[in-house]
Amino acid sequence: MLLLDSLRGEKIDRFPVWLMRQAGRYMPQYRELREKERDFLSFCKNVELAVRASLLPLELLDVDAVIIFSDILVPLEPMGVDVEFTEGEGPRLSWGGDVKDLRKIDFSSVEFVGEIIRGVKAQLRGVPVIGFCGAPFTLMAYMKERGSSKDFKKTKRFMWEGGENYRVLMSLLVDNLLEYLKGQIRAGADLIQVFDSWAMHMPYEDFEEYAQTYLRVLFEELKKFSPTTPILYFFRGSGSFLRALESLRMDALSLDWTVDLYTAMRESGKVFQGNLDPAVLYCGEDTIVERVQGFLRCIPRKTRYIFNLGHGLMPDMELSKVKLLVDTVKGYRLS
Ligand code: CP3
């Protein structure tokens, strides 16, 4: 499998490619499937529909990996957090606010995720399945803010004044995410991606104590459980945090477009993923091809690298342009 070969440092003749939110609203076929369930979470729990959605990017784009269709907020529900997605507004969370009332989870409470992985795998030949979760800090922030936020006031106040409650919540999230990821690996996930969408809001000097400590435990325990399952870590806004991230045990670090990939590759022994600004997809076809090829030409050929964008695909992007992007990456030969 190209993606796994690339991570292992084996010789490959082109860069592997998959995209964040590769199954999403920009696809008419996804929108059609999505109409079969009223709300987004019911869709995530409908194994048959989630399997079909997961496989759409393989059928329509011929990508090199399938990420299971779900959401990072799914494992919060069995902990005692109500999660609701309202059209156009993003997620809304509600819970009592007392850390002591939150539950430790058992994978059986989210068994539908295991069924989705098994359902997807049954239909794949030679393409790996990516399981995923949100990073502890990002999930804690969603819980404290009760949804998305611009300034993370409540999160930061909790971080600096929460004391033991902060540590208890973060440790509980680590335990639950570990259980969640182990369940996904048992069900057949070949790789795991951890999404840290909000860690960039953290002051640099606080990152180690309030976020990285917990990530480290999560990655190390996961490696103990399954040493051969690669861990991909997406850190939005990772630029100034690169040095801090050196000590984390991941197999590839997924970057957004604010990072100088070329310098990062020279200065770090890590494998990188991502980095191209998704906004290129709003341009004309010639510009897309030109910019993608120019981007790939800057990556030294011996480097282990996984093509992805710097963030997820957006609903107003065009499927034909996304396909052009994937084809351009696949057509760029390394040998
Ligand atoms: O990548 C994939 O194709 C797999 C599925 C996937 C989704 N969300 C599907 C989804 C994955 C891996 C995610 C991760 C996720 N979810 C993240 C981390 C990545 C990132 O974007 O930084 C975050 C922060 C979330 C939380 C979340 N879920 C938000 C902010 C939203 C957007 C709300 C909106 O309406 O725009 C979602 C909803 C969501 N998750 C959609 C999809 C396809 C759209 C809702 C729909 O189709 O009805």
Would the CB of 137 count as within 6 Å of ligand 1?
no
Token pair in block for residue 40:
């987004």
CA of residue 24 to ligand 1 center, whole Å? 8
Predicted confidence (pLDDT) at residue 238 exceeds the cutoff of 90: no
pLDDT at site 213: 96
CA distance 158 to 96: 15
Least confident of 57-66, 169-178, 263-272: 263-272
Catalytic residue of the set 142, 210, 214, 305: 142
Instruction: Give, as one character, the DSSP assignment of residue 102.
Output: P
Cβ 278 vs Cβ 291: under 8 Å: no
Protein residue with least CA distance to atom 33, ligand 1: 90
The full set of domain ranges for the chain reads 2-330
pLDDT tens, position by position, 242-252: 888 988 989 99
pLDDT tens, position by position, 292-325: 999 999 998 888 999 999 999 999 999 999 999 9
Cβ 93 vs Cβ 82: under 8 Å: yes
CA of residue 303 to ligand 1 center, whole Å? 30
Confidence of residue 131 (pLDDT cuts 50, 70, 90): very high
Would the CB of 126 count as within 6 Å of ligand 1?
no
Would the CB of 34 count as within 6 Å of ligand 1?
yes
pLDDT tens, position by position, 78-123: 999 999 998 778 899 999 999 999 999 999 999 999 999 999 999 9
B/e letters for 297-310, b = 16+ CB within 10 Å, e = fewer, are eebeeebbbbbbbb
Report helix, strand or coil for 277.
coil
Least confident of 128-132, 249-253, 323-327: 249-253
CA of residue 71 to ligand 1 center, whole Å? 6
Q: Is residue 297 among the annotated active site residues?
A: no
Q: Is residue 34 among the annotated active site residues?
A: yes
Protein residue with least CA distance to atom 45, ligand 1: 40
User: Fold for domain 2-330?
Assistant: TIM Barrel (3.20.20)
